[in-house]
Amino acid sequence: MSRLSRRSFLTASAALVASPAIGAVASSGIVDVVIVGAGAAGIAAARKITAAGRRCVVVEAADRVGGRCFTDAGTFGVPFDRGAHSLHMADINPLAKLGGVAKLDVYPAPPGQRLRIARRFAREGEMEDFLSALVRTNRAMGEASRGKNDVSAMQALPKDLGDLRSPVEFVVGPYGTSRDLGDISAYDLGRLAERDTDAFCRQGLGALIARLADGLPVLLSTPATAINIWGRAALEVRTTRGLFQASAVIVTAPTSVLAAGKIKFDPALPKRYVDAIAKLPLGSCDHIGLELAGNPLGLRGDELVFEKGTGNRTAALLANVSGTPLSLVVVGGRFGAGLAAQGEAAMTAFAVDWLADLFGTEVKKAVKRTAATNWAKEPWALGASSAAMVGGQPSRRVLMEPIGNRIFFAGEAAHETLWGTVNGAWESGERAADAILKRYAPAPAPSGRRRR
């Protein structure tokens, strides 16, 4: 048996750093499918394709998998989901079921939410009024989606919301979709599936996606720079590390990244795809993490709290995440985007002051470690989640159509009823993979009578 010398150890370590990958994969070559992006959609597609025995490679621009699902376990010493945290519709969500396969703890979120009015919680009757206003708003969006002409979600709001209008606007808009209601298509919002029966992953949703990527052929820190589609025999995907040839490509990059031209297409994408991408921009939704020692808010684990405010300078609180001292203050929409642009210090100051206004100034003394996200500045995300502009809802259907049956788009933006969700991204990745695998299916046996 040969001994591992210090020199050979350092050489091997340098090679791993120079070409980071999760599974055994070359940095160039010929494969059946190239998948651009190792977020939820890309991982879902790769699992399907490899399970069918086909060769694929996932090229990821960042130095980690997960995309907008990212669990940071170092900042607070407990899992901190910097991106998506909830698994919506847990009873039918495929990721909730895969949590057990990955040997991670996926558990149901506490039912309902609470409303804070100044320094007290809403009474039973006040809470019923708030929930009724949310139900009437969702119903109004559904009715608007059946109209002849699309309007903004703000125009479709019920007119009798009274002093509940501001919290309803925040819950349905910035908190639920990452954009203000005036910037969202009522058609798009009306077709969004209800997001009840949520679940959380105790180790973090980003950790779940990363676990499901184990063993897949993923190349990290390898941005795709160009996709050449002029070849008849194969497509070419150029990366910063090499060139891949494939029969099909699945592009899962966020719409804002595509709109920024970070991946060049040769020839250029058809105009209808360019227009569709432009009409599905990513909004703003960020997490401000606060370590609160001693549970100064007196809330249970994973308790969700909204504020009955009077304007857009508001947030949501997810307290004591998975029973830990970590709480998340969630900001979004135009106010959240403006706050994030001011930097992490401004975001933390807002979150602490906001909690102090609602729960008392003693909260400030309990704040220990802090952190804040800024997805608009993440170079391979450039935002949180997609929301169609007025008149842009049909753009999702456009992205669901392959180009020449060889280039497929996948991700939460390419789902008509689960956009803005991780399960929507996962389902779109599986759908693209299924469509490609059908091309490789064996031809059916010829029918007819056997000759005697």
pLDDT tens-digit map of 421-431:
999 999 999 99
Query: Tell me, what CATH number does 181's domain have?
Result: 3.90.660.10
Mean per-residue pLDDT, 95-113: 94
Residue 15 placed within a domain: no
Domain that holds residue 422: 23-66+213-281+386-439
Q: What percent of the chain has pLDDT over 90?
A: 87
- In a shared domain, residues 248 and 315: no
The highest-confidence range among 74-83, 224-233, 440-449, by mean pLDDT, is 74-83
Instruction: Say whether 69 sits in a helix, a strand or coil.
Output: coil
What's the mean pLDDT when you consider all of the chain? 92
Decide if 28 is inside a domain: yes
Q: Are residues 308 and 369 in the same domain?
A: yes
Q: ∠19-21-27 over CA atoms, to 5°?
A: 55
CA–CA dist 211, 65 (Å, integer): 10
Q: Is residue 315 part of a domain?
A: yes
> In this model, does residue 59 exceed pLDDT 80?
yes
In eight-state DSSP terms, residue 152 is B
* Contact (CB, 8 A) for 216 and 124: no
pLDDT at 377 over 60: yes
Asked whether residue 188 is assigned to any structural domain, the reply reads yes
Which tokens in the block code for residue 172? Answer: 């349905």
Using DSSP's 3-state secondary structure scheme, residue 253 falls into coil
Are residues 32 and 248 in contact, defined by beta-carbon separation less than 8 angstroms? yes
Q: Give the residue from 349, 377, 405 where a domain finishes.
A: 377
pLDDT at 20: 47
Which residues, 6 or more positions from 51, have their beta carbon under 8 angstroms from its beta carbon? none
Same domain assignment for residues 299 and 368: yes
- Cβ–Cβ < 8 Å for 283, 381: no
Residue 26: which pLDDT band, with cuts at 50, 70 and 90?
A: confident
What whole-number distance in Å separates Cα of residue 97 and Cα of residue 385? 23
What's the rounded mean pLDDT across residues 262-279?
97
Contact 393, 191 (CB under 8 A): yes
Q: Answer yes or no: is pLDDT of 10 > 70.
A: no
Q: Is 125 contained in some domain?
A: yes
User: Quick one: 373 and 390 in the same domain?
Assistant: no
Residue 446 confidence class, pLDDT cut points 50, 70, 90: low
Q: Are residues 170 and 116 in the same domain?
A: yes
**432 shares a domain with 351:** no
Span 71-92, average pLDDT: 96
Number of domains in the chain: 2
Which backbone phi and psi does 206 adopt, to 5 degrees? -65, -35
Per-residue model confidence (pLDDT) at position 35:
98
pLDDT band (50, 70, 90) for residue 437: very high
Reported as a single tens digit per residue, the pLDDT across 195-250 is: 888 999 999 999 999 999 999 999 999 999 999 987 667 899 999 999 999 999 99
Which one of 329, 357, 377 terminates a domain? 377
Q: Are residues 255 and 397 in the same domain?
A: yes
Cα–Cα distance, 211 to 196 (Å, whole number)? 25
Q: 373 and 289: one domain?
A: yes
Domain-ending residue, one of 336, 358, 377: 377
Residues 192 and 287 in one domain: yes
Cα dihedral 108→111→116→117 (10° resolution)? 170
Burial degree of 4 (CB within 10 A; 0-12, 13-18, 19+): exposed
pLDDT at 25: 75
Amino acid code (one letter) for 137 = T
If asked whether residues 344 and 238 sit together in one domain, one would say no
Q: Is position 11 within any domain? A: no
For residue 11, what pLDDT band results from cuts at 50, 70 and 90? very low
Residue 447 pLDDT class (50, 70, 90 cuts): low
Average pLDDT over residues 357-382: 97
Do 287 and 303 lie in one domain? The reply is yes
Q: Identify whether 410 is part of a domain.
A: yes
For position 430, which CATH number holds?
Answer: 3.50.50.60
Residue 327: inside a domain: yes
Same domain, 250 and 272: yes
Residue 451 has pLDDT above 90, yes or no: no
The predicted-structure confidence for 115-155, as pLDDT tens digits, reads as follows: 999 999 999 999 999 999 999 999 999 999 998 899 999 99
